[in-house]
Structure 1
Amino acid sequence: MDLLTPDFGLIFWQILIFLVVLFVLSKFAWKPMINGLNERENSIEEALLSAEKAKNEMAQLKADNEKLLAEARRERDHILKDATAAANKLREEAREQASHEGARIVADAKASIDLHKKAALADIKEQVATLSVQVAEKILREKLSDDKAQKEYVSKLVKDLNVN
């Protein structure tokens, strides 16, 4: 039964050795382990803070990118609107210029036609006058070929002059 109930001396030495081992472990083993655990805890906390900071920065960058994209879209829409307006203005100006040019060409053509028409009428009048003179000359030569006819014609002309 001695083995089941230890002596007071054995208990004393076991407690003393336990306290010495406890002191040695606390002095040389637990402090470095606790310091290592504290350092690891701090590094994990710093890593979590860095990750949170990076996450916030990424969210900020994403918001900035979205803002830049929206700005670029507005700018693109504005440029397209301006380009469309400029194209419409150019098209309208070209249409007006073509209309004015067409009206000018038509007016020039009418003026040219009128000029040619007047020239043709003047030429026709001249030809008619020339033909009339030639016909009258032939008629007068034929009628006034003898002296008696010439005297009658002259007296008729003098008579007409006196009446007028």
Structure 2
Amino acid sequence: MDLITPNLGLIFWQLVVFLLVLFLLAKFAWKPILTSLREREDSIESALRMADQAKLEMQQLKAGNEKLLTEARQERDKIMQEAGQMANQLIEQAKNKATEEGSRMIMQAREAIQNEKNSALAEVKNTAAKLSIDIAERILRRELTDPTAQQQLVNSYLQEVKLN
């Protein structure tokens, strides 16, 4: 039972050593330990504040990115719409130009056909006139070889001139 019950001298010396260690720790170790604990606590609080601030900044950046993305989509849609309108305008202009060019070519073709027709008619008239003159000349040569026929022809011409 001596092992279980402590001796009074042992308790005294343990108390003295404990107080001596407590005094030495209070004198030399507790201030640096408490200072380092405060510094650690401050750095943890600072890190938490910075994390909260970073979280807020990330939310703001996310909101800004969403806004920029929305604006970019709207700008893209606007550009696509303008491009579609420009394409439609170019197609319409090309159609109009093609129609005008076709009309102009048709008019030129009609004018060319009319000119060719007039030219052909003039050529036919000239040919007919030449043939008529040739025929008239041959007839007159035949009739003018006879002097009595010449006299009759002149008389008939004179009568026709008087009648007109």
TM-score (norm 2): 0.79
Distance 1:157-1:21 versus aligned 2 partners, 3 A rule: closer
Partner AA of 2:158 in structure 1: V
What amino acid is the match of 2:96?
Answer: E
Identity %: 49
Residues 110 and 4 (structure 1), Cα distance of their counterparts in 2 relative to 1, 3 Å cut: closer
- The count of aligned residue pairs is 163
Moved more, 69-78 or 27-36: 27-36
Query: Which blocks of at least 5 consecutive residues in structure 2 are unaligned?
Result: none
Q: 1:38 to 1:154 in 2, by over 3 A?
A: same
Matched, 1:127 2:127: yes
Alignment correspondent of 2:112: 112
Aligned to 1:64: 64
In structure 1, the partner of 2:48 is: 48
Task: Give the structure-1-normalised TM-score.
Answer: 0.79
Distance 1:112 1:5 in 2: 141
Residue 93 (str. 1) matches residue 102 (str. 2): no
Match of 1:82 in 2: 82
After superposition, the Cα gap between the structure-2 partners of 1:159 and 1:15, relative to the gap in structure 1 and judged at 3 Å, is: closer
Structure 1 CA distance for aligned equivalents of residues 133 and 15 of structure 2: 168
| Residue 141 (structure 1) aligns with | 141
**Distance of aligned partners of 1:20 and 1:136 in 2 relative to their CA distance in 1, 3 Å threshold:** same
Shift of 1:17: 6.6
Deviations along 1:40-76, one digit per CA (max 9) or x if unpaired, are 2111111111111111111212222222222222222
State the distance in 2 between where 1:131 and 1:20 align: 158
In the other structure, the counterpart of 1:103 is 103
SS of corresponding position for 2:100: helix
Question: How far apart are the structure 2 equivalents of 1:104 and 1:155?
Answer: 59
What are the superposed Cα offsets for residues 4-52 of structure 1, whole Å, 9 maximum, x if unpaired? 6977x99888777765655544444434333332222111111111111
CA gap of 1:152–1:5, structure 2 versus 1, over 3 A, is closer
- The residue type paired with residue 88 of structure 1 is N
| Pairwise CA distance, 1:121 | 1.0
Unmatched runs of 5 consecutive residues or more in structure 1: none
